[in-house]
């Protein structure tokens, strides 16, 4: 938006007869997405049972089906067990190449950034060839390690991680879980055998996760927040630059800069007082001195901004130091007769022109009526 005339009042100009126009704004579509904020993120292959797990340990009711990528958007569930209360995020499944955008990988990984711990949900009853809990875990760890978190955050692989061997209610899955559990514990993971159908193993898992969250919260409270560094670009000291360009009828002086361009956009060129205000602002900014220094004279072509949006013949508003320096030796332009018309003189001449035009129109109308009467007779 612009400024009304009341905001432009000064001791000398108590009632301005103009206002500043608004400048062109930005128009476009912006998509904002809030990254999920949860204490625990459920990590695993599609159809590993993550949605079933969050539905079993919380009041959340996510969509559950027997095909991959059932979960397309993060689901949050609040777990209340004993004295622990924490949130768990069920996010889209992870596959090999997720860190490069395959599947819904990026959709998943960016929601894990704010979680303080990870729970790997491994499917022990999968019938897909070449898959088992160990190989699934290796793929997941590789993708987590390849994903770059924002600066200042803990890498995903350095956060606390538990493993849940799911679907042990199936006999073959229980046998497989008992087979791979020693290998996983040897790698430093705390392992839980669970079933989201029979709820086997869920209570010890939820208590262990609660203890993990409480520990993470206590450590986070002791951390000193990193210092926020704000770098602001430093603009040119003058606030503008003038580029001399060759033209058909002489040099063209192009004024560039955020302030001059914005001031032009705010000016109503149908209002003489507004144009004068623009000239005063440009003069105070030092534009006239710079034009004199570059060799501009009265009547030179001056352009403000790119293109030919604002083009005018320059008329200095005051005698500047640069003009004095460019005057012939032994002369002082300030002592020359001032041929510049005053405001009252310009106003008087304006009224005279308007009166002359009105008289001319009246005379033409009189002649037209006289000719009409003659034709009628």
Q: In the chain, where are the structural domains located?
A: 40-222, 237-335, 342-377
Give 325's pLDDT tier (boundaries 50, 70, 90): very low
Question: Dihedral through CA 64, CA 66, CA 68, CA 72, nearest 10?
Answer: -20
Q: How far apart are CA 157 and CA 288, in angstroms?
A: 62
Q: Name the DSSP letter for residue 3.
A: B
The answer to whether 8 touches 18, Cβ cutoff 8 Å, is yes
Give 138-193 pLDDT, tens digit per residue: 988 888 888 778 777 888 888 899 999 999 999 999 999 999 999 999 999 999 99
Three-state secondary structure of 245-305: EEECCEEEEEEECHHHHHHHHHCCCCCHHHHHHHHHHHHHHCHHHHHHHCCCCCCCEEEEC
Fold of 40-222: Rossmann fold (3.40.50)
Average pLDDT along the chain? 79
CATH architecture of the region 237-335: 2-Layer Sandwich (3.30)
pLDDT of residue 337: 59
pLDDT of residue 67: 41
Q: Is the pLDDT of residue 204 over 80?
A: yes
Q: Is the pLDDT of residue 230 over 70?
A: yes
pLDDT of residue 207: 94
Give 121-151 pLDDT, tens digit per residue: 998 988 788 888 998 899 888 888 887 787 7
The answer to whether 301 touches 253, Cβ cutoff 8 Å, is yes
The answer to whether 121 touches 164, Cβ cutoff 8 Å, is yes
Give 324's pLDDT tier (boundaries 50, 70, 90): very low
Q: Closest Cα to residue 164, out of 62, 73, 40, 61?
A: 40
Highest-confidence segment of 36-45, 176-185, 301-310:
176-185
Q: Which of 269-278, 307-316, 327-336, 348-357 has the lowest mean pLDDT?
A: 327-336
pLDDT of residue 323: 45
């Amino acid at each position: 938006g612009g400024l009304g005339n009341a905001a432009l009042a000064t001791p000398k100009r108590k009632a301005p007869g103009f206002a500043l126009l608004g400048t062109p704004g930005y128009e476009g579509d912006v998509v904002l997405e809030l990254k999920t904020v949860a204490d625990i993120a459920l990590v695993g292959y599609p159809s590993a049972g993550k949605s079933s797990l969050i539905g079993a340990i919380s009041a959340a009711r996510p969509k559950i089906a027997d095909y991959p990528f059932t979960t397309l958007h993060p689901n949050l569930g609040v777990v209340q067990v004993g004295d622990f209360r924490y949130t768990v995020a069920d996010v889209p499944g992870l596959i090999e190449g997720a860190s490069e955008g395959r599947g819904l990988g990026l959709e998943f990984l960016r929601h894990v950034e704010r979680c303080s711990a990870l729970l790997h949900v491994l499917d022990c009853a999968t019938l897909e060839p070449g898959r088992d809990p160990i190989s699934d875990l290796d793929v997941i760890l590789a993708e987590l390690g390849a994903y770059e978190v924002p600066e200042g955050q803990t890498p995903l692989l350095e956060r606390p991680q538990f493993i849940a061997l799911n679907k042990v209610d199936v006999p073959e899955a229980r046998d497989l879980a008992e087979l791979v559990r020693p290998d996983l514990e040897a790698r430093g993971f705390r392992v839980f055998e669970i079933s989201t159908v029979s709820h086997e193993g869920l209570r010890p898992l939820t208590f262990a996760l609660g203890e993990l969250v409480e520990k993470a919260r206590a450590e986070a409270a002791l951390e000193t927040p990193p210092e926020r560094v704000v770098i602001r670009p430093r603009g040119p000291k003058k606030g503008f630059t003038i580029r001399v360009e060759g033209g058909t009828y002489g040099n063209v002086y192009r004024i560039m800069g955020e302030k001059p361009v914005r001031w032009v956009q705010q000016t109503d060129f149908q209002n003489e007082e507004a144009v004068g205000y623009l000239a005063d602002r440009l003069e105070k900014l030092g534009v006239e001195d710079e034009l004199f220094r570059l060799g501009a004279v009265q009547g030179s072509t001056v352009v403000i901004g790119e293109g030919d949006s604002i083009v005018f013949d320059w008329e200095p508003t005051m005698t500047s130091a640069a003009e004095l320096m460019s005057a012939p030796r032994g002369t002082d332009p300030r002592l020359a007769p001032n041929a510049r018309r005053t405001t009252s003189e310009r106003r008087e001449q304006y009224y005279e022109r308007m009166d002359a035009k009105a008289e001319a129109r009246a005379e033409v109308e009189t002649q037209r009526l006289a000719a009409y009467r003659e034709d009628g007779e």
